[in-house]
């Protein structure tokens, strides 16, 4: 293999694992993928992970990717991290975590989020200020929870980071974030790209504890430190990019952004279900996260906490294979097993209704798919509206949904989304879009190339096209009616502190 080949590493540090993609920087060919798991702990709304385990997993995954790619370490020219959004990492004076990180799906901070939402002009003012209304997922609410429940840890913090920030700092020794991931904190102003002093004052967070904000995820922030180079088995000359959040990296991997497609919707089916589109519009919808993209455009996003993992839990309870499913018929399932984010129902639990003696267990599982898909697609309509588009307009409905994530590889998920949306689907052939997007950021940092244009040239967003089928309005209306009737009870669920 020629030693002149330039290789970049894209790291996807997600909730449950790290994946490191070794990618040919010229062609976008995925040469190898290294993996290592994470541990998530917690019950009753708590979800935590040890950031030291993230670093260990990153080292393991990167070493495996370089080894399996069969390339010399000297051919690696750049690395970037895309991380799970919103997590709160608190660092001590030694730069190491003071406690496990509070993850995005930790809902204990729901009371703090609700209290914050009433301040600084109330729920309508927050989206205009920071892009998003404070909900339990947002980092500002998690910091407030820490101040109230663990004041010693908050007082001892010498640094406050997001997951990807922390890993980038371990790589390059520089405290830096990017506009995309920063926009998921609720302490960053998406209008002018700066931290909001009023929010920081409200939550008692010293701005000196926060990383600098790089202009974009492909910004070169340095090269590997001696310690990182030794741990990874790579030369110190490897360029480190600022990196970004996982959703922003997926958008890059799909070629969405200033240098590529705009206003083309994406549905990601993973542990959570997310919907987003790149746009130049600046949305201000309280039900959405008005994120910045990593390239200067916007990335309005709806996120549901309960997607593939929740449906798989129903399959386990029913003793069925996840593909052993039929449409729900009269059964309706709202699979809100971990509360919910869009809609904002942090205390909700799962709901099953419409059962009869002759209900097929496979139909109950089918109803779980339908409930999860309905929630995701309902959020999609709001994302399209936030982009200034009419979700019902024929030219908008004809745009294919880009279906990504683990669920996009399953027939039951694909069939359910297709049936409930009535839209054409595009199933990108690339399976690791977050890691590939991070690799494009790494290549951009190493060469100065626009990462969205680079990913477009790589063709990572292309794949199988499925034509639309008739929309299942009967199921849609049935689920919508149950959600509407049940929402008051879901809102009044048991409070968590």
Angle between helices 451-458 and 246-253 (to 10 degrees): 50
Helix (H) or strand (E) holding 182: helix 179-182
138 φ/ψ sector (left φ>0, alpha ψ -120 to 50, else beta) = beta
Tens of pLDDT along 142-158?
A: 999 999 999 999 999 99
CB-CB contact of 353 with 332 (8 Å): yes
Tens of pLDDT along 475-492?
A: 999 999 999 998 887 766
Q: Per the domain annotation, does 60 fall within a domain?
A: yes
Specify the pLDDT at position 491: 61
Q: Per the domain annotation, does 353 fall within a domain?
A: no
Q: Per the domain annotation, does 362 fall within a domain?
A: no
3 state DSSP class of 280: coil
Taking the CA atoms of residue 62, residue 65, residue 68 and residue 73 in that order, the dihedral angle to the nearest 10 degrees is -60
Length of the chain: 497
Mean pLDDT of the chain: 94
> What is the rounded average pLDDT of the residues 269-286?
88
- Which among 24, 165, 246, 450 is annotated as catalytic? 246
Give the residues across from 90 on adjacent strands.
Answer: 160
> What does each C-alpha distance from 210 to 139, 150, 172, 316 come to in angstroms?
12, 19, 16, 42
Tens of pLDDT along 105-135?
A: 999 999 999 999 999 999 989 999 999 999 9
∠ Cα 100 103 461 (to 5°): 130
Specify the pLDDT at position 412: 97
Q: Per the domain annotation, does 133 fall within a domain?
A: yes
Q: Mention every residue, 6+ apart, whose C-beta is less than 8 A from residue 460.
A: 28, 253, 254, 255, 428, 430, 433, 436, 437, 440
Q: Per the domain annotation, does 340 fall within a domain?
A: no
> What is the rounded average pLDDT of the residues 326-342?
91
3 state DSSP class of 49: strand
Q: Per the domain annotation, does 108 fall within a domain?
A: yes
CATH code of the domain containing 70: 3.30.420.40
Tens of pLDDT along 184-243?
A: 999 999 888 999 999 999 999 999 999 999 999 999 999 999 999 999 999 999 999 999
Long-range contacts of 354-361 (CB under 8 A, 24+ apart): 354/328, 354/330, 354/478, 354/482, 355/331, 356/330, 359/329, 359/330, 359/331, 360/326, 360/329, 361/318, 361/319, 361/320
| Host domain of residue 205 | 7-249+437-457
Tokens of 292: 């910045």
Indicate the pLDDT class of residue 163, thresholds 50, 70 and 90.
very high
Q: Per the domain annotation, does 208 fall within a domain?
A: yes
Specify the pLDDT at position 493: 57
Q: Per the domain annotation, does 345 fall within a domain?
A: no
Specify the pLDDT at position 1: 41
pTM to 2 decimal places: 0.88
> What is the rounded average pLDDT of the residues 418-437?
94
Active site residue 246: yes
Indicate the pLDDT class of residue 458, thresholds 50, 70 and 90.
very high
Instruction: Say what percent of the chain tops pLDDT 90.
Output: 84
> What is the rounded average pLDDT of the residues 42-63?
96
Instruction: Say what percent of the chain tops pLDDT 70.
Output: 98
> What is the rounded average pLDDT of the residues 381-401?
91
Taking the CA atoms of residue 229, residue 178, residue 449 and residue 256 in that order, the dihedral angle to the nearest 10 degrees is 130
Tokens of 138: 């947002």
The count of domains in the chain is 1
Indicate the pLDDT class of residue 495, thresholds 50, 70 and 90.
very low
SS (H, E, C) 81-149: EEECCCCEEEECCCCCECCCEECCCCCCCHHHHHHHHCCCCCCCHHHHHHCECCCCCCHHHHHHHHHHH
Q: Mention every residue, 6+ apart, whose C-beta is less than 8 A from residue 224.
A: 79, 171, 172, 232, 234, 235, 236, 237, 238, 240
Tokens 């002093």: give the residue: 197
Specify the pLDDT at position 497: 38
Tokens of 421: 């949306």
Specify the pLDDT at position 293: 93
């Amino acid at each position: 293999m020629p030693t002149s080949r330039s290789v970049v590493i894209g790291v996807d540090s997600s909730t449950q694992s790290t994946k490191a993609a070794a990618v040919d920087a010229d062609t976008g060919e995925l040469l190898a993928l290294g993996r290592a798991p994470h541990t998530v702990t917690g019950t009753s709304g708590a979800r935590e992970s040890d950031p030291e385990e993230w670093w260990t997993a990153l080292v393991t995954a990167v070493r495996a990717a370089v080894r399996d790619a069969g390339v010399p370490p000297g051919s690696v020219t750049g690395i970037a991290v895309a991380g799970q959004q919103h997590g709160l990492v608190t660092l001590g004076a030694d730069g190491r975590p003071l406690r496990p990180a509070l993850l995005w799906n930790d809902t204990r901070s729901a009371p703090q989020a609700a209290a914050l939402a009433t301040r600084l002009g109330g729920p309508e003012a927050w989206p205009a200020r920071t892009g998003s209304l404070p909900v339990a997922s947002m980092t500002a609410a998690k910091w407030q929870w820490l101040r109230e429940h663990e004041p010693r840890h908050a007082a001892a913090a010498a640094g406050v980071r997001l997951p990807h920030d922390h890993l980038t700092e371990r790589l390059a020794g520089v405290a830096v974030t990017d506009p995309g991931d920063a926009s998921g904190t609720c302490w960053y102003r998406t209008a002018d790209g700066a931290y909001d002093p009023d929010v920081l004052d409200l939550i008692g967070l010293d701005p000196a504890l926060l990383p600098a904000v790089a202009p974009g995820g492909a910004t070169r922030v340095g090269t590997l430190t001696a310690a990182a180079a030794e741990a990874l088995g790579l030369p110190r000359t490897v360029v480190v990019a600022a990196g970004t959040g996982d959703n922003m990296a997926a958008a890059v991997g799909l070629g969405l952004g200033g240098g590529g497609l705009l206003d083309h919707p994406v549905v990601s089916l993973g542990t959570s279900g997310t919907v987003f589109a790149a746009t130049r519009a600046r949305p201000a919808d309280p039900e959405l996260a008005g994120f910045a993209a990593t390239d200067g455009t916007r990335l309005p996003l709806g996120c549901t906490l309960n997607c593939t993992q929740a449906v798989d839990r129903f399959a386990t309870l029913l003793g069925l294979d996840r593909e052993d499913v039929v449409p729900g018929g009269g059964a309706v399932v709202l699979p809100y097993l971990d509360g919910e984010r869009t809609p904002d129902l942090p205390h909700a639990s799962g709901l099953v209704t419409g059962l009869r003696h002759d209900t097929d267990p496979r139909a109950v599982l089918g109803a779980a798919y339908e409930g999860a898909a309905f929630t995701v697609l309902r959020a999609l309509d709001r994302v399209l509206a936030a982009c200034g588009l009419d979700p019902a307009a024929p030219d908008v409905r004809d745009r294919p949904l880009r279906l990504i994530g683990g669920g996009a590889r399953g027939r039951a998920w694909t069939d359910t989304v297709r049936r409930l949306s009535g839209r054409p689907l595009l199933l990108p052939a690339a399976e690791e879009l977050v890691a590939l997007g991070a690799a494009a950021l790494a290549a951009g940092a190493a060469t100065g190339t626009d990462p969205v244009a680079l990913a477009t040239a790589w063709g990572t967003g292309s794949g199988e096209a499925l034509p639309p089928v008739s929309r299942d309005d009967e199921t849609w209306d049935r689920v919508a009616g149950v959600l509407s009737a049940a929402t008051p009870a879901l809102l009044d669920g048991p409070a968590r502190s």
